[in-house]
Amino acid sequence: MVTAVLAPVAGTAIGLVAVPDPVFSQAMVGPGSAIDPRREPGQAVAPISGTIVKLRAHAYIVLGDDGRGVLVHLGIDTVQLKGEGFRLLAAEGDRVRAGQPVVFWDPAAVEAGGRSPICPVVALDAAAGEVDGEVRGGVGAGDELFHWS
Amino acid sequence: MAADVRAIIAGLGGVDNVIEIEPCITRLRTEVYDASKVDQAALRAAGVHGVMLAGNVVQVVVGPDADTIASDIEELIG
């Protein structure tokens, strides 16, 4: 079965290797991609359909019914912001469909605070070969980003 | 693979070496008193995905169970 993983935010798909955090760039928690977001306030959406099993202001994990989890991390080191500048649009435990808004945030504010607003999108614990069809370049929130097979 | 909580504490140099543990989705941000007591090989053997050491801060990458593992460690540390 192939899961289409959607871009959670609008911007430029740059690949996981370009993320300035070794946990993501070295794919320690799984392969995937990353988006350099458009610098304007906007909604981050669910990358797949399923249940929100983890929801922090700056990051969330959606677990599909097939047991596959996708992590979206809004910016790097943004745990340090303790939720400031982020607004939750869903709750932990909610069922969401792919493309449904989860968090409202402002990448420009994250960057103004001295942090990278780049958003890793990770197929948690997937084998490297299970992710393909990765899109590069401009994407809108909810556009296909990669396939998990 | 679930990481072994006791082995993680041992790899961090034991209970007495740990100042603070904070989970962040996929990793434990840990502050230790003595970074030289951190055994990266032992941590990897404990089933973690990766270890990053910067000064007295050790980031232990454990995967999405970070919250659960952190609270298990807090319980053991007491």
Residue B1, pLDDT > 50, answer no
Laid out side by side, the sheet with A119-123 consists of: A95-96, A50-56, A59-63, A69-73, A119-123, A32-37, A11-13, A137-139
Cβ B28 vs Cβ B69: under 8 Å:
yes
Q: How high is the pLDDT of residue B78?
A: 64
According to the 3-state scheme, what is the secondary structure of A44-81? EECCCCEEEEEEECCEEEEECCCCCEEEEECCCCHHHH
Bridge-partner residues for B75, per DSSP? none
A58 included as an active-site residue: no
0.95 exceeded by pTM: no
Cα distance between residue A104 and residue A62, in whole Å: 16
pLDDT band at residue B71 using 50, 70 and 90 as cut-offs: confident
Instruction: State the ipTM, two decimals.
Output: 0.72
Name the residue among B25, B49, B61 with its Cβ closest to that of A56.
B25
CA dist A135 and A84 (Å) reads 31
Q: What's at B29, amino acid-wise?
A: R
Q: Rounded mean pLDDT of chain B? A: 89
Whether A56 contacts chain B with CB within 8 A: yes
- All residues of chain A having their beta carbon less than 8 Å from the beta carbon of residue B27 are 23
Inspect the interface and report whether the beta carbons of A23 and B67 lie closer than 8 Å. no
Q: Do A59 and B25 touch (CB under 8 A)?
A: yes
Single out the catalytic residue among A35, A73, A74, A148. A73
